[in-house]
């Protein structure tokens, strides 16, 4: 892929490097749109996320295997700010190709959101560009820029062309009880850890055991402090809490913390 020769862009004093224009794949002079949600084999057991019913596109960016902060610009206005360990992986294995399971709750809602918004921009003939700033302090910088610029795509409820994200309907007491029972049966007492990880929007997250215990409301068993095997990615029920949230355990500092990284 040829990289367009544009100058870098100053964003709040930081010199962001131009990576490319983001353009969906074209087939027969039309965007190659698809609906992967129809291929999910466990459809009847899952609910579509707020963007899961959308049409999606495919796109790629040049290989940039660096960590840092990226900005998506629509018509030269910053509309989204994110951070990543690997820009190539974040876009080419994440935003740029939506798998069927990503369309459902508990998986990669953000991937669906960004992909569908890029497709919407393309339909409206908007110019979408990607800029990147290499940084070892990416999380702090992302928060700083989000606070200053308040990009519209970073907002939780973004209106799309084919569906509008609105406040959810109030549930009856019986519906709420059924939901709680379903969560209990799937994740047991660790369900709050699933919810916590599912709501994260980071390529990787290091969490202390103390923090996770605060989330859960109880202490881990002694084996979680003493054996790496307790944190294995599979083979025991509690591993579903991070696997279904779209993460795998990468590094375990026994008795101290766990580092999760996002899967696609």
Q: Is residue 84 part of a domain?
A: yes
**Cα 12 to Cα 144: distance, rounded to the nearest angstrom:** 10
User: Which pLDDT belongs to residue 6?
Assistant: 62
123 in the same domain as 90: yes
> Which CATH number goes with the domain that contains 79?
3.40.1440
Query: Which residue from 1, 49, 4, 5 is spatially nearest to 25, judged by alpha carbons?
Result: 1
User: Tokens in use for 49?
Assistant: 């996320």
Q: Are 199 and 255 contained in the same domain?
A: yes
pLDDT at 182: 46
pLDDT tens by residue, 170-194: 444 444 444 444 444 567 788 889 8
What is the predicted pLDDT for the residue at 85?
A: 93
Kindly report, residue by residue over 135-177, the tens digit of the pLDDT. 999 999 999 999 999 999 998 766 564 444 433 434 444 444 4
- The residue range of the domain holding 68 is 9-154
Tokens of 235: 């083979």
Is residue 37 over pLDDT 90?
Answer: no
> Is the confidence at residue 52, as pLDDT, over 80?
yes
Domain annotation covers residue 245: yes
Task: Calculate the average pLDDT of the chain.
Answer: 83
DSSP-based three-state secondary structure for 60: coil
């Amino acid at each position: 892929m040829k990289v367009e020769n544009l100058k870098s862009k100053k964003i709040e004093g930081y010199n962001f490097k131009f990576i490319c224009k983001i353009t969906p794949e074209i087939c027969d002079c039309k965007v190659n749109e698809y609906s992967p949600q129809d291929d999910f084999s466990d459809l009847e057991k899952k609910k579509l996320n707020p963007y899961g019913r959308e049409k999606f596109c495919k796109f790629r960016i040049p290989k940039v295997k660096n960590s840092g902060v990226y900005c998506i610009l629509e018509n030269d206005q910053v509309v989204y700010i994110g951070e990543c360990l690997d820009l190539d992986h974040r876009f080419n294995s994440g935003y740029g190709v939506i798998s069927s399971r990503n369309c459902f709750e508990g998986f990669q809602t953000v991937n669906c959101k960004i992909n569908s918004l890029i497709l919407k921009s393309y339909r409206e003939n908007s110019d979408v560009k990607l800029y990147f700033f290499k940084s070892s302090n990416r999380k702090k910088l992302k928060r700083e820029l989000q606070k200053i610029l308040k990009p519209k795509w970073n907002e939780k409820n973004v209106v799309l062309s084919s569906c509008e994200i609105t406040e959810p309907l109030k549930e009856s007491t019986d519906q709420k009880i059924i939901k709680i029972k379903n969560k209990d049966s799937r994740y047991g007492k660790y369900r709050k850890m699933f919810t916590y990880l599912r709501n994260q929007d980071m390529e990787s997250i290091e969490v202390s055991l103390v923090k996770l215990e605060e989330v859960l409301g109880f202490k881990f068993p002694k084996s979680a402090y003493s054996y790496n095997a307790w944190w294995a990615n599979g083979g025991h029920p509690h591993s579903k809490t991070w696997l279904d949230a779209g993460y795998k355990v990468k590094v375990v500092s026994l008795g101290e913390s766990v580092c999760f990284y996002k899967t696609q």
